A and B are shown apart, each in its own frame.
Chain A
Amino acid sequence: MAVTSQAEDEAELLARFEATVGRHDRIEPRDWMPEKYRRTLVRQIAQHAHSEIIGMQPEGNWITRAPSLRRKAILLAKVQDEAGHGLYLYSACETLGVSRRELTAMLIAGKQKYSSIFNYPTLSYADVGTIGWLVDGAAICNQVPLCRTSYGPYGRSMIRICKEESFHQRQGYELLATMMRGTDEQRAMVQESVDRFWWPALMMFGPPDAESPNTEQSMAWGIKRDTNDDLRQKFVDMSVPQAKALGVTFPDPLLAWNEERGHHDFGQPDWDEFAAVVKGSGPCNAQRIAHRKKAHDDGAWVREAAVAFATAVVEERAPVSVSKPGEGSEQ
């Protein structure tokens, strides 16, 4: 009997949950949610948070070598923003009952993923601009719809993140535009960088819809709002005029305007390469995780010291709370 009644309760909760999502209202941390919805969110938000943190590495690679003081300031501030984005997202994830410590452990153990784009190396200073323009650009295409995602804390984090990402994208584009007004060597550096990043940028939207296992359920739950292929098309359509204005080309012989469709036709990225990079065979997979692990391991004694110090301070204050009713009553 009890089981039946529990099942009925759950059916009612589910109906209420689906109605909320159907109205495009937000689900908040206190609300009931299906366990699979919670797990899907944790997977997606954690992957996003990890991408911000791992994403600090390829650009951070150039901070000490930035060729002007102004560019150095812009780059340092940008990489710092990424750490901030990681913080908001880990916090959003914590509202679902998983701590930053647990998430970091899963990242380091390879149990959670981050965006595969960061498994490509940054080989010239132009890459800083290209990552801003194309990689942050693709990220914005993916992320803007998430500002309206059904889970409240995630959607609110995304609003702030998208604003900052659009600064980054403009800064990246501005770096490339400036370099294109520089020397022949600089123009060649920009083109070479764009050639290297174009296909990996297209891969950022994920596999073609026909092969994307999670898309359907995520769209039904309002976690995801556009399909991979739709977003990819949007990105290509937006990027082509920008490349023209910049004076660079994309390495795709099939890229052409299709009057009938009102969109650009374009070739497919090498999906075998995508699969290989996701599985760990990218140029920098091992390096990125080793770097993150080293920072985390090297910092362990500092975090332990901070906890020990904070605990000691609380214990020192404890006698005071005894003499003040109302304080320390929760201990």
Chain B
Amino acid sequence: MTDGHDSAYDGLLEHHTVTDDSQWAFGTDFEDPLAGVDTTIPDGVDARTLGAYCLMLGDDALVYSHRLSQWTSNAPDLEEDIALANIALDLLGQARLLLARAAAADPDLVPVLPVGSPVPPEDALAFFRDESAFRNVRFVEPGNGDFAVTVARLLVFSTHRLALLQRLATSSDSVLSAIAAKGVKEVTYHRDYAARWFLTLAHGTEESRRRLLAAMVLVWPLYDELFRTHPVERTVAEQGVGVDPATTADEVHVVLEQVFSVSGIDRPDVPPTGPVSGGTGRDGRHTEDMGRLLAELQVVARAHPRGLW
């Protein structure tokens, strides 16, 4: 053991007044999440539509990350605690980049804060938007339930998101394609993790199988909404910058079928959750869970609109 560790403390004072944070560890080196990336909007792409689209994918990641992070210190074993936190962290990173891209593409999306507020635009979007301005699918909103519900929801979500990100990697927007290329690697792991647990629970004990079947009934009603095309998604797909989710439905179906068939589990026969006044999550119409989720997510930030964190 070197004596270097005895002085773990000494570094603290050396740069305390310097704003360069490079001395700090994880998480502190991304002041501008899009630093160094070409953020020019590609020709033929409508910036407002691109912004709205980034918000959709960013909000899916943000809200689901929030849910998964609630497993921290509550998981069935330490390994699962660590894995679920990893997945939540990956999605949080995706959310941060996508919200920053949304704000850069369309600054009008960003809530207006008091003059002089140091809150960066991606944080203003996450913490100062009202519920109806969130564009995530309702699929990611409900509480975690037990581990079986989490596994079933994660399997479906990550299969859907992976299909989406794989297509998005060829987006004409260099920012979106870069975010997607990074995300594909992450979400491939998420899907693998969920599929392995799905199989384990299906063939584990009677109890785990019973819970998994019950979980499918809970998760499935919001499945169809994942593939419902919003006008914004149709436009970005036409412009070559985004993906129409309906085009991923077949692939998602096939991948899930593989997992379900080896697990000996059928898709439950339950009616899909209907829209609210014709709208769903992408239109800003959410579940009753969403308000409480946002109240928790936003409470500290909103109490300090001029706060520096």
State whether B81 touches A83 (Cβ < 8 A): yes
The complex places the Cα of A70 from the Cα of B307 at a distance, in Å, of: 14
Q: Are B8 and A140 in contact (CB under 8 A)?
A: yes
Which residue in B8, B72, B301 is a CB contact (below 8 Å) of A67?
Answer: B301
Tell me which residues from 168 to 193 in chain A have a Cβ below 8 Å from any Cβ of chain B.
168-171, 173-175, 177-179, 181-183, 185-186
A298-B146, A308-B205 known; A166+B5 contact, CB < 8 A: yes
Nearest CB of A to B66, in Å: 6
**Interface size class for chain A?**
35 or more
Residue of B27, B73, B204, B300 near A57 (CB, 8 A) is: B73
A37 interface residue, CB < 8 Å from B?
Answer: no
17 CB contacts below 8 A, A to B, read A60-B73, A64-B69, A67-B123, A72-B92, A73-B96, A83-B81, A125-B309, A169-B8, A175-B309, A178-B308, A242-B12, A242-B13, A291-B74, A301-B207, A302-B76, A303-B77, A305-B201
* CB nearest to A79 among chain B residues: B72
Residue A144 CB within 8 A of the other chain: yes
Interface check B267, CB cutoff 8 A: no
Return chain B residues, CB-CB under 8 Å to A241: 13
Please tell me if B208 contacts chain A, counting CB pairs below 8 Å.
yes
Closest to B3 in A: A144
**B69, A177: Cβ atoms under 8 Å?**
no
Query: Cα distance A261–B196 when bound, in Å?
Result: 62
Identify the closest chain B residue to A146 (Cβ).
Answer: B1
What are the 6 tightest A-B residue pairs by CB atom distance, in nearest-first order?
A: A305-B204, A299-B76, A305-B208, A182-B308, A167-B25, A166-B8
A72 CA to B122 CA, complexed, in Å:
13
Report A-chain residues with C-beta under 8 Å of the C-beta of B172.
Answer: none
Asked if A309 is an interface residue, CB under 8 A from chain B, the answer is: yes
Contact between chains at A80 and B92 (CB < 8 Å): no
Q: Nearest A residue to B69 by beta-carbon distance?
A: A63
For B1, give the chain A residue with the smallest CB separation: A147
**Interchain CB contact under 8 A, A303 and B76:** yes
Q: How far is the CA of A144 from the CA of B1 in the complex (A)?
A: 9
B64-123 residues with Cβ-Cβ distance < 8 A to A are 66, 69-70, 72-82, 85-86, 88-89, 92-93, 95-96, 99, 118-120, 122-123
State which size class the interface on B falls in: 35 or more
Stretch from A155-163, A206-214, A249-257, A271-279 that touches the partner: A155-163
Contact partners of B299 in chain A: CB under 8 A = 65
Complexed CA–CA distance, A76 and B26 (Å): 11
How many Å from the CB of A134 to the closest CB on chain B?
A: 12
**Other 5 A-B pairs with CB < 8 A, given A69-B126, A169-B8:** A63-B69, A67-B127, A76-B92, A163-B5, A182-B304
Most buried by A among B25, B80, B93: B25
Pick from A67, A242, A302, A312: contact of B309, CB below 8 A: A67
Decide: A183 and B306 in contact? CB cutoff 8 A.
yes
| Given the contacts A73-B92, A174-B28, A301-B208, A137 and B9 also touching, CB distance less than 8 Å | yes
Contact indicator per residue, chain A 213-246, by CB within 8 Å of chain B (1) or not (0)? 0000000000000000000000000100110011
B89 surroundings in chain A (CB, below 8 A) = 73, 76-77, 80
Closest residue of B by beta carbon distance from A144: B5
B211 within 8 A of A: yes
Provide the bound-state CA to CA distance between A214 and B210, in Å.
50
Chain A residues with Cβ under 8 A from B297's Cβ?
Answer: 64-65
Question: What chain B residues lie within 8 Å of A183 (beta carbons)?
Answer: 304, 306-308
**Residues of chain A within 8 A of B17, CB atoms compared:** 245
The answer to the question of A108 belonging to the interface, with a C-beta cut-off of 8 Å to chain B, is no
Contacts of A318 in B (CB 8 A): none
Question: Which residues 257-309 of B sit at the A interface, judged by CB distance below 8 A?
Answer: 296-297, 299-301, 304, 306-309
Closest partner residue, chain B, to A295 (CB atom): B74
Whether the pair B1, A87 counts as a contact (CB closer than 8 A) is no
Q: Is A68 an interface residue (CB 8 A)?
A: yes
Cβ-based interface call for B203 (8 A): yes
Is there contact, CB below 8 Å, between A185 and B8? no
The distance in angstroms between the C-alpha atoms of A326 and B301, with both chains bound, is 62
| A74–B9 CB distance below 8 A | no
Residues of A within 8 A of B207 (CB): 301, 304-305
**Closest-CB distance, A168 to chain B (whole angstroms):** 8
Contact with B along A93-136 (1 / 0, CB 8 A): 00000000000000000000000000000000100000000000
A31 to B72, CA, bound (A): 38
Within 8 A of B (CB), among A277-325: 291, 294-295, 298-306, 308-309, 312
The reply to whether the CB of B38 lies closer than 8 angstroms to some CB of chain A is no
Please state if A312 and B73 are interface contacts (CB–CB under 8 Å): no
Given contacts A64-B297, A76-B92, contact A53 B78 (CB under 8 A): yes
Contact with B along A138-164 (1 / 0, CB 8 A): 001100100110000001000100110
Whether A245 contacts B25 in the complex (CB less than 8 A), given A69-B92, A144-B6, A303-B77, comes out as: no
Q: Which residues of B contact A165 (CB under 8 A)?
A: 8
